A and B are shown apart, each in its own frame.
Chain A
Amino acid sequence: MLRISCPWCGPRDEPEFRWGGEVPVLRPGPPEAVSDSAWAQYLFVRDNPKGWVRERWVHAFGCRQWLIVVRNTVTHEIRATARLTEPLPEVTP
């Protein structure tokens, strides 16, 4: 079970959080200008890397804020967490 440091509340157990997928994912628009493949890319295609990944999680049973988590998908190590208002941490896979 992960321990995630919420930038607002401090370190908390994983069950307090909900996973929200990789970031950044840019929502394309306006709809009439978006091709089918670009829309499919947005909906379904993710890097899913082996190693470091930036994700968003929400502190659902806490402050209910979304946050950025930099997590290693192999070791589950968490290198950094950040507020959405902060610059997105850089990762090298």
Chain B
Amino acid sequence: MRMSAHRLESGGRIDRGRPLAFAFDGRRYEGFAGDTLASALLANGVRILGRSFKLHRPRGILGAWGEEPNAIVQIGTGETTVPNLKATQVELAEALEARSVNCWPSARSDVFAFLKMFGPLMPAGFYYKTFKWPSWHWFEPTVRRAAGLGVAPTGADPDRYEERHEHCDVLVVGAGPAGLAAALAATRAGARTVLADDRPVLGGALQWEEKTVDERPALEWVGEVEGELRAASNARVLTRTTAFGCYDHHLVALAERFGEQTARPIRERLWHVRAEQVVLATGAIERQLVFPDNDVPGVMLASAARNYAVQYAVRPGRRAVLVTSTDSGYDAAESLKPRGIAIEAIVDTRMDPGEVAARARRAGFAVRAGYVPVRVHGTRAVRAIDIQPLAETLRAHSTGSLLRLECDLVCVSGGWTPSVHLFSQARGQLRYDAERAAFVPGSGPKGFQCAGSAAGQFALRECLTDGFAAGRKAAKATGARSDAGISPIAAPERTAVAPFWAAPRHDHRKAWVDLQNDVTRADLELAARENLRSVEHVKRYTTTGMAVDQGKTSNMNALGILSDLTKTPIPQIGTTTFRPPYDPVTLGTLAARHVGPLYRPLRRTPLDSQHSDQGACFEDFGGWRRAAWYTSHGQSREECIRAEKRAARGAVSLFDGSPLGKIEVRGPDAAVFLNRMYCNSMKTLPVGRVRYGIMLSEHGVILDDGVCLRLAEDHFLVSTTSGGADRIFSGFEEWLQCEWPDLRVLATNVTCAWGNIAIAGPRARELLSLLSTDVDLDPKAFPHLSVRCGRLENVPARIARVGFTGELSFEINVAAGYTAALWERLLERGAPLGVRPIGIEALQDLRTEKGYLHVGTDTDGRTLPTDIGMGEALAKKSEDFVGRRSLERAEAKRPDRLQLVGLSADDPGTVLPVGAHVVADPKARLGSQGYVTSSCMSEALGRTVALGLVQGGRSRHGESVAIYCNGRLWPAHIVSPQWYDPKGERLNA
């Protein structure tokens, strides 16, 4: 195949035997396995990868990894597309499709480019100041279209994600020299070690720095260490894994990617790592230099240029000018020159760079010390750079000693910023180190160490010894006792830096601070002029340091510039807060498996498959998959529900009540305890009897209701609402453990151990007597509100005469495993009686016409027991109970409290809407006096019925009111809520 024009003929850690075809902005290119999208595009001579955020200026590649501010791309299409990735971090894959963002139709020809001309009109705070009238929302769609980044996927993500929990002794983040040395020491010492690095290969900067460790090429050493770690049973090595967040108590979150291969079982994995000790060897990021036109494609970090040339065998230019304020910048010259990239000059902003410059001169490089860049020529690519002695640039409009250097690549090195993000997230304190011109880790949280360049140790020699010592110390702190051996070593280096935050101003040209957000030095000046002093405010006002790169190459420069402008020392300005994630994480990773049906799995009753067989329509009721109604051939939903209601009122019905909460309460003090939990008396409940009860919160508000069954002197069965079982049971435990540990009571939640079938209807007893049982079903022996334990079809059963329909009814509890057989037998034996299963919909209507309230529907967060007619029961009780004192407040006794009533529409065919308001003055339509809580067409009464909460409603029966909803009014009357069988003759039958 033809070698790409900018690919070196040999070298690099790419697999030339595995060419990969890919597309960018619709054009086809070829790269190699081992490339990133950025290196492959550079090899193909693509220089413009994106347009700037506000002004749509052409932008090229600045960095080579996560620091990249410009080359933001969207990969893939449809449901699996991922927006806002950095091309520098995207591993090249066969058939990869990538597009630039924030430009249309492509980065090279963008129709929004005219916005450049409006540059002077779009200063910091532009959006805040301009789009105020009539409101921001009026402008938002248009602004978002022009300023947006990527686009969202078109559908639900079909890929699989997962999460894992890991516990280890030592977690090492970063597998550069310091991290490798740390992991090596910790593993050798015997600690359970996890090493995580976000790149596909280990070694970090050793991949391109061409250095020597232990007197052999550094990459040989990297290979040996990797081999040793992978072979060790106590070490785990994770590549392509970004540690993105440090949380409380040594929890570190990692995102592991599985690349863009087509056959991947999972796409990404979230790791929750709980580590006793954490070593942060997260490295350092080179800073951009701020000078006019420093955003023209072809201006690149010196470290990135080296990275492309050495690791990827890509020539990022033919003729380079190196602009540096550091010793380490010179290294790039030594890497680029032998690869056929001419070094036009090394421009050092320092007046006296010392030994490093002398050595470079001896090696034949032209060094311009004390010069600064004042302008870059070229729009779509660098053509030349103008430099000038620093002293001259300080004079306004001076062109003295201006020097033009022809080049197509400007390598910049503004010093190194330690990646202290995770350390800071873990509440580590940062300290400004003037000598290194960087914030370095200060006093740290217990169990955290920074090592290597993350700790400001920029030379390889210190990285290795520092990392090794940190790994050994971490292992020792976890009790590991084996001998870690001795640290690897490297030759000493010079790493001096003199901060150069920004070139002095030169005419009107823009000097870019944050390339991703189009923030210039002038924007920071404006913010300072407008007296924004807090760095957090400046960040939000100018947007410097925001979005996907979070200002990794720019934040320190912004601080330095701000320091100069406000005459405040950098330590006093401080940094903005570092928050997770360190690098963007997909929502898919965070959600892991908790999506779709696994987001909140529904519980199923023991009769689930029976319901399915009978054509049930299922719905989620309080976390349970329950039958809402049962379909019948050729009948509509309404017709089916009506038939179910007729069966319950006219024949016999079966209802699956298995989700009802069931809590067994046993012990000598069980009666005393329940008497405190219910607002009505339970102490006086005789054995074998059942009582309806209400439980309150300490605020006196109704929490739950249900029946309480006394099975023996010291044995109760408490039934709760289906959604309330866990809550009420937890409450029992809390009261018993925390408030009344003296009570000898054991409460057990047996909700799922028992199935529950409610048989209701005038023929309920007839049906039950068709089954074999040792329980006497005669109404005199087994009256309403009593419970019998016995056998039913030779299976142990608890049978209670209670129900929620107002008909003669039996609730049968049998072991969950017997429930299905019992259900089928009841249906089979009951067929001649007209038995029919009924769902929640029918039950809701039946209980509404009976005037039975549903907690949470007919009560709200303020309803007290006196509001629903429990006043008499309370008055009879002398003992304390939960919530009692709250019922004595003046508020609890107000006559105009919302109280439960029936609401009868004057037109018997009108179903009053739930939520409709009871209004005092139908003309004014103001002053709600309450609202409708339940409403339906009553099959039994042949008219509509409704329940509601109305001010002082219990003393207003008979009063006429108006019901208001969405502009409509209905005349109605307040009535007793007991619509159906008010004397209770049917349920006592």
Report B699-727 CB contacts with A as 1/0, cut-off 8 Å: 10000000000000000000000000000
Please determine whether B737 and A39 come into contact, CB atoms closer than 8 angstroms. no
A84 touching B427 in the complex, CB below 8 Å, given contacts A1-B247, A3-B274, A58-B730 = no
Report A27-40 CB contacts with B as 1/0, cut-off 8 Å: 11111101010010
Kindly state the separation between the CA atoms of A9 and B57 in the bound complex, as whole angstroms.
60
CB distance from A64 to the nearest CB of B (A): 6
CB distance from A3 to the nearest CB of B (A): 4
Report A19-48 CB contacts with B as 1/0, cut-off 8 Å: 010000001111110101001001100000
Q: Which residues of B contact A76 (CB under 8 A)?
A: 248-249
Please determine whether A2 and B249 come into contact, CB atoms closer than 8 angstroms. yes
Q: Could you say which of B411-419, B610-618, B789-797, B880-888 contacts chain A? A: B880-888
Please determine whether A34 and B885 come into contact, CB atoms closer than 8 angstroms. yes
Q: Which residues of B contact A20 (CB under 8 A)?
A: 734, 738
Q: Which of B717-753 contact A (CB under 8 A)?
A: 730, 733-734, 737-739, 741
Kindly state the separation between the CA atoms of A35 and B696 in the bound complex, as whole angstroms.
20
Please determine whether A36 and B738 come into contact, CB atoms closer than 8 angstroms. no
B147 interface residue per 8 A CB criterion: no
Kindly state the separation between the CA atoms of A29 and B738 in the bound complex, as whole angstroms.
16
Q: From B739, B741, B886, give the contact of A39 (CB < 8 A).
A: B886
Please determine whether B888 and A31 come into contact, CB atoms closer than 8 angstroms. yes
B889 interface residue per 8 A CB criterion: yes
Q: Which of A37-65 contact B (CB under 8 A)?
A: 39, 42-43, 56, 58, 60, 64-65
Report B878-904 CB contacts with A as 1/0, cut-off 8 Å: 001000111011000000000000000
Kindly state the separation between the CA atoms of A30 and B884 in the bound complex, as whole angstroms.
10
A30 touching B738 in the complex, CB below 8 Å, given contacts A3-B249, A66-B733 = no
CB distance from A56 to the nearest CB of B (A): 6
A1 touching B249 in the complex, CB below 8 Å, given contacts A13-B274, A29-B880, A84-B741 = yes
A75 interface residue per 8 A CB criterion: yes
B526 interface residue per 8 A CB criterion: no
Kindly state the separation between the CA atoms of A16 and B459 in the bound complex, as whole angstroms.
45
Q: Which residues of A contact B737 (CB under 8 A)?
A: 65-66, 84
Q: From B251, B698, B734, B738, give the contact of A1 (CB < 8 A).
A: B251
CB distance from A43 to the nearest CB of B (A): 6
Kindly state the separation between the CA atoms of A60 and B734 in the bound complex, as whole angstroms.
11
Q: From A2, A29, A60, give the contact of B248 (CB < 8 A).
A: A2
Kindly state the separation between the CA atoms of A84 and B735 in the bound complex, as whole angstroms.
12
Report the nearest A residue to B427, measured CB to CB: A75
Q: Which of A1-22 contact B (CB under 8 A)?
A: 1-3, 13-14, 18, 20
Please determine whether A31 and B249 come into contact, CB atoms closer than 8 angstroms. no
Please determine whether B738 and A31 come into contact, CB atoms closer than 8 angstroms. no
Report the nearest B residue to A75, measured CB to CB: B427
Q: Which residues of B contact A2 (CB under 8 A)?
A: 248-249
Please determine whether A60 and B274 come into contact, CB atoms closer than 8 angstroms. no
Q: Which residues of B contact A56 (CB under 8 A)?
A: 738
Q: Which residues of A contact B250 (CB under 8 A)?
A: 3
Please determine whether B738 and A84 come into contact, CB atoms closer than 8 angstroms. yes
Q: Which residues of B contact A27 (CB under 8 A)?
A: 739
Q: Which residues of B contact A14 (CB under 8 A)?
A: 248
A-B contact list, 16 entries, CB within 8 Å? A1-B247, A3-B249, A27-B739, A28-B885, A30-B880, A31-B880, A31-B888, A32-B888, A34-B885, A43-B698, A43-B886, A56-B738, A58-B730, A65-B737, A66-B733, A76-B248
- 5 further A-B pairs in the complex, CB-CB below 8 A; given A28-B885, A42-B698: A31-B885, A39-B885, A43-B698, A43-B886, A75-B427
